[in-house]
Amino acid sequence: MTSDAAIQKMQLRQSYRNVWHSDLLSSIKQDTPYCCFAVFCPPCVSYLLRKRALYNDMSRYVCCAGYMPCSGKCHESSCPEFCLCTEVFCCFGNSVASTRFLLQDEFNIQTTRCDNFIIGFMICLQQVACIFSIIACIVGSDELQDASQILNLLADLVYCSVCACMQTQHKIELDKRDGVFGPRPMAVPAVQEMSRIDQQYPPSVGYPPQQTVYGQPYPPPAQSYPPPVQSYPPPVQSYPPPAQGYPTSYPPPGYPR
């Protein structure tokens, strides 16, 4: 995905109106066991969530859900399961983000300011920890090296916790889609309806065929308006009307006497 396309996609997500069934802060409360599972085995959770987001149809799989330049160029169709395993272990962060974008684009889900703040804080803390590590290596100070190690440890803890909450959030949203919280709201979309950057927005929507009532189309086709003008005033009738034949004798024949 080019930079211009990524910017357009980010701007498009700002117009989404639906929200996550659970925000990041509440996800650990709604499904604590799954959040713990995501903490201790995050690649496995990422694999399961991506496969479930694809409705367990691996023929739909594209590397990083089509959001990276390498998507569609790794021969994923020949061995999608192996490619997905490689993605979740070698590019774990991208796999979680790609599943998130896939769900957002499919269900028009926006990210709240609180979620954006938490994700932004996680990314900034990792960048600061990296900068401190580079400075500590250049300067060679033991105190600065210890500080960078502590900062790296803190950044890793925040990263693991936020990713676990994020994956739990995705799992709860998939539970909602699959009818765990009630009747299932939608059916499996067609393959070409999966969100991609080259699609137009909003997507075209098919309409049902025209109904017929007693062999006639319903609703009836629109009539021309205004109706054709009638000649006015109407043609004058001859008056008095032509004389009828009157009896020549009185009383008329056949009249009772």
**pLDDT tens per residue, range 62-117:** 988 888 877 878 788 889 999 999 999 999 989 999 999 999 988 999 878 888 89
| 3-state secondary structure (DSSP) of residue 212 | strand
Higher per-residue pLDDT: 12 or 245: 12
Q: Is the pLDDT of residue 231 over 80?
A: no
Kindly state the tokens that stand for 143. 């105190």
> What is the torsional sign of CA 152, 153, 154, 155?
positive
Domain parsing of the chain, residue ranges: 3-183
Q: How confident is the model at residue 253 (pLDDT cuts 50, 70, 90)?
A: low
What are 199-226's pLDDT values in tens digits? Answer: 443 433 333 444 555 555 555 555 555 5
Q: Give, in degrees to the nearest 5, the angle at Cα 166 between 92 and 194.
A: 75
What's the average model confidence in pLDDT over 6-22? 78
Residue pair 112/131 in contact (Cβ under 8 Å)? The answer is no
Q: What is the pLDDT of residues 15-57, one digit of tens each?
A: 788 889 988 888 999 999 999 999 999 999 999 999 999 999 9
Mean pLDDT of the 120-136 span? 88
Residue 115: the pLDDT is 85
Cβ contact 170:103 at 8 Å: yes
47 or 10: whose pLDDT is higher? 47
- pLDDT for 72: 78
Q: What is the pTM of this model?
A: 0.66
Q: Could you give the count of Cα atoms lying within 13 Å of 252 in the half-sphere of its Cβ? A: 3
What's the chain's average pLDDT? 77
What is the rounded distance in angstroms from the CA atom of residue 68 to the CA atom of residue 6? 9
Using CA atoms, how far residue 103 sits from 60, 174, 177, 213, in Å, is: 14, 9, 10, 42
Determine the average pLDDT of the residues in 123-142: 86
- pLDDT tens for residues 164-208? 999 999 999 999 998 887 665 555 555 544 444 444 434 333 334
Instruction: State CA 63 to chain mean position distance.
Output: 19
pLDDT reported for residue 165: 94
CA dihedral in degrees (212, 213, 216, 220; nearest 10)? Answer: -80
